Amino acid sequence: MVNYLWDNLFKRNSRDAEIETVIGENYIFKSLTKVELSFVKNLVHYRVYKPDERIFTQGELGVGMYIVVSGTVNITVEDHHTLDESQRDIFVTRLTRGDFFGEISLVEQTGRRTATAVAADEVILLGFFKPDLAEAIERNPRIGVKILMRLGEVLGRRLKETAERFTEVKRELKELANADPGT
Amino acid sequence: MQTPARERNLRLRHHQWIKMVTFFGALLAGLVVLIVIKNLLLSVVIAIMITYIISPLVSYIEGTGISRIIAILIVYCAVSTILGLAIWAVTPLLIDQVTLLRGRLPDYVEGTVRLFDSIAVNIELFSGGILQVNLSSHLRKWLTEQSSSIVEVLPGLLSSSASVLFLSPIIGFFILKDGHLFFREMLRLVPNNIFELTLSLQYQISEQIAQYFRARLLEALIVGIVCLIGFWIIPFPFAFLLAVFAALANLIPYVGPLFGAAPGIILALINHSSGFTILMVALVYLIAQLIDNFLIIPLVVARIVNLHPLTVILVVILGAQTLGLLGMFISIPLASTIKVTFRNVYSHLTDGSA
């Protein structure tokens, strides 16, 4: 019994230390001081997922972002144009320790998930959601502003990347049309 | 023979079910404890109200860099000092008015009987002697019993509510200090497949109830102040007692204002023969209600609780039948919680906007 209690205590302490490290390394929380990080540590949610367990599904209402602590997360999108059920999920990317996803939901009013996230193996994630962001802004506006600034930067960068990709696809389509004027 | 993927899926579902049962079991157990232990539900409701009223102030102080526990202590000290001073200032007035009321009760009983006698005579005259009503003897007996029991019951009522008054601020203190940690621990039990939905629900419900309680208290305060000023201007006896009663009764939706106005109007009917005074007393209540209904409710309350008036009346009746006065008070936030829950769950299940 005593051993169990000590084990639990140490496990909890090492988990707390791990959470702090992962948050500290994340781009969105990087500008926070050590004291501020320990405040955020009490706001995030520690979640464990079994292999093949869905984290969220495309089309569901999203409330926030996740940071990968350990394991691998597969991101897929559903292709509604294909009739073949087995070909419907299109693999987008594989995320590992330190990666984060779903951050758009933090600032959307009733945003729906644009992709599906599934645990490829046993996965540990840290969830940071809209209510947590609201709590940070209310209880410690300094931390709230720092997080929002970084979040703005990330979303701006994502928008820029998407715009660049869009231009690229448009150019490719134009080239294809020029190369084959008959079609 | 089962395929590994199917087996993994089954194990996953089993795991989710265990978590689901644990979570809802814990919720149910908590609810049972709240209902079974005497005065606990009322203490917790008052504690939550205290929390909702002072938490913005605590968060504001915490936001300046002071630790949360110190911020809570600062707010608690400030509020207790203000309340203490208010009680100290008001108690002599309250004692005076209660003593005066106690002394005048027999006269009021007689006055009420006379009032009903004259009504009975009028009915008799109006019906040409067909309807003969004899209320006075029964009424006198009933009123004498009730009025003496009010005076006798009041101290007992105060001492039984002492435990609630003592418990509520303590529970409120711990909700303010560790409430978010408690919710976080509860959320740990939630299965992954409904985690985001539960978190979002908890946030929306908590925000809605907080705003609702703050708005209701603001309403009560304004109704109380308007009545107090009005009764002082007229002038009318027991101004403070009547204003406090009107403010407290106003916390009950729909029927509250009628309850609140009843003692003042009855007192005016018994005490004064002048129709002008009765009209003025009714006018004070009317002005208070007009300010409440045309200013505070449209600007503050209506935005918070989006329920149809008929739904509100039905849930208030249901609340009164199940939990009495407390039920009437908590029925609207409870109904609004159920509405938010259904809307969100429906939206989650159908992945469409509700």
The first and second tokens of residue B94, run together, are: 């309250």
Q: Tell me, yes or no, whether B146 lies in a domain.
A: no
Residue A103 belongs to what domain range?
2-179
Interface of B with A in 49-68 (CB under 8 A): 56, 59, 62-63, 68
Q: Tell me, yes or no, whether B223 lies in a domain.
A: yes
Interval A89-112 mean pLDDT: 87
Residue in A63, A61, A141 with CA at minimum distance from that of residue B350: A61
pLDDT digit string, tens, across residues B40-85: 888 888 888 888 888 889 988 988 888 889 999 999 999 889 888 8
Looking at residue A73, what is its pLDDT? 94
Question: How near does any CA of chain A get to the CA of B182, in Å?
Answer: 11
Looking at residue A14, what is its pLDDT? 78
pLDDT above 70 (res A83): no
What lies within 8 Å, CB to CB, of B276 at 6+ separation is: none
Give the closest of A47, A52, A131 to B195, CB-based: A47
Q: How many CB atoms lie within 10 A of CB B269?
A: 15
Which has more pLDDT, B243 or B348?
B243
Pairwise CA distance, residues B51 & B179, whole Å? 10
Looking at residue B127, what is its pLDDT? 72
| Residue B182 to residues A17, A18, A43, B272, Cα–Cα distance (Å) | 21, 22, 12, 57
Residue B237 belongs to what domain range?
196-347
The first and second tokens of residue B302, run together, are: 């209506």
On whether any CB of chain A is under 8 Å from the CB of B15, the answer is: yes
CATH classification at residue A59: 2.60.120.10
Looking at residue A130, what is its pLDDT? 92
Interval B29-49 mean pLDDT: 83
> Which position has the token pair 């936001």?
B63
Contact A138 B11 (CB under 8 A): no
The dihedral formed by the CA atoms of B10, B11, B14 and B18, expressed in degrees to the nearest 10:
-170
**pLDDT grade for B159, boundaries at 50, 70 and 90:** low
Question: How near does any CA of chain A get to the CA of B348, in Å?
Answer: 6
Alpha-helical segments (H) within chain A: 2-25, 34-41, 130-139, 141-179
Q: What is the pTM of this model?
A: 0.72
Q: Give A168: exposed, middle or buried? Use CB within 10 Å, 0-12, 13-18, 19+.
A: exposed
Is residue A117 within 8 A of residue A56, CB to CB? The reply is: yes
Residue in B257, B240, B347 with CA at minimum distance from that of residue B296: B257
Question: How near does any CA of chain A get to the CA of B59, in Å?
Answer: 5
Contact A47 B11 (CB under 8 A): no
Is residue A72 within 8 A of residue A126, CB to CB? The reply is: no
Question: How near does any CA of chain A get to the CA of B173, in Å?
Answer: 17
Pairwise CA distance, residues A36 & B339, whole Å? 37
> How many structural domains are present in chain B?
1
Pairwise CA distance, residues B52 & B38, whole Å? 23
Q: For an interface test with B, which of A139, A140, A143, A145 has the most B Cβ atoms less than 10 Å from its Cβ?
A: A139
Contacts of A34-40 with CB under 8 Å at 24 or more apart are: A36/A140, A36/A142, A36/A143, A36/A146, A39/A136, A39/A140, A39/A143, A40/A128, A40/A136, A40/A143, A40/A147
Contact A140 B62 (CB under 8 A): yes
Q: Tell me, yes or no, whether B113 lies in a domain.
A: no
DSSP assigned state of A61: B
Contact A50 B9 (CB under 8 A): no
Residue A76: in which H helix or E strand, if any?
Answer: strand A73-78
Give the closest of A45, A61, A134 to B348, CB-based: A61
Residue B179: in which H helix or E strand, if any?
Answer: helix B136-188
pLDDT digit string, tens, across residues B238-281: 788 888 888 988 887 777 888 888 888 877 777 655 677 888 88
**pLDDT grade for B353, boundaries at 50, 70 and 90:** very low
Q: Tell me, yes or no, whether B41 lies in a domain.
A: no
Looking at residue A167, what is its pLDDT? 93
Q: Tell me, yes or no, whether B69 lies in a domain.
A: no
Q: How many CB atoms lie within 10 A of CB A153?
A: 12
Contact A127 B15 (CB under 8 A): no
Nearest CA in chain B to A141: B63
Identify the three-state secondary structure at position A160: helix
pLDDT above 80 (res B206): yes
Looking at residue A145, what is its pLDDT? 94
Q: How many CB atoms lie within 10 A of CB B29?
A: 10
pLDDT digit string, tens, across residues B104-154: 777 777 777 777 777 777 777 777 666 666 666 666 677 667 666 665 666
Question: How near does any CA of chain A get to the CA of B208, in Å?
Answer: 13
> How many structural domains are present in chain A?
1
Query: B61 - beta bridge partners?
Result: none
Residues in chain B: 354
Looking at residue B122, what is its pLDDT? 76
Contact A52 B353 (CB under 8 A): no
